[in-house]
Amino acid sequence: MDYADNILGTIGSTPLVKMNVLTRDLPCLVLAKYETFNPGNSVKDRMAVQMIDDAEAQGKLKPGGTIIEGTSGNTGMGLALVAAVRGYKMICVISDKQSKEKIDILRGMGSEVYVCPTDVAPDDPRSYYSTARRLSEEIPNSWYVNQYDNLSNTKAHFLTTGPEIWEQTDGKVTHFVVGVGTGGTISGVGRYLKSKNPDIKIWGVDTYGSVFKKYHETGIFDENEIYPYITEGIGEDILPKNVDFDIIDGFTKVTDKDAAVYTRRLAREEGMFLGNSAGAAIKGVLQLKEHFGKDDVVVVLFHDHGSRYVGKIFNDEWMKKQGFLE
Answer whether 65's CB lies under 8 Å from 143's CB: yes
Of 149, 142, 206, 195, give the one whose Cα is nearest residue 173. Answer: 195
Q: Which residues of 59-69 are buried (b: 16+ CB within 10 A; e: fewer)?
A: eebeeebbbbb
Q: How far apart are alpha carbons 220 and 211 in whole angstroms? A: 9
| Residue of 44, 102, 194, 213 with catalytic role | 44
> Cα-flanking dihedrals φ and ψ of residue 126, to 5°?
-85, -15
Of 65, 60, 102, give the one whose Cα is nearest residue 83. Answer: 65
DSSP classification of residue 228 = -
> Cα-flanking dihedrals φ and ψ of residue 109, to 5°?
-85, 5
DSSP classification of residue 77 = H
Of 38, 37, 18, give the one whose Cα is nearest residue 28. Answer: 18
Who's near 156: CB < 8 A, 6+ residues apart? 46, 47, 49, 50, 51, 184, 188
Of 306, 293, 242, 280, give the one whose Cα is nearest residue 102. Answer: 306
Q: What are the distances in angstroms from CA 89 to CA 49, 105, 219, 304?
A: 15, 16, 40, 24
Q: How far apart are alpha carbons 185 and 304 in whole angstroms? A: 13
The total of other beta-carbon atoms located within 10 Å of residue 200's CB is 22
Counting Cβ atoms within 10 Å, is residue 294 exposed (0-12), middle (13-18) or buried (19+)? exposed
44 is catalytic: yes
Residues taking part in catalysis: 44
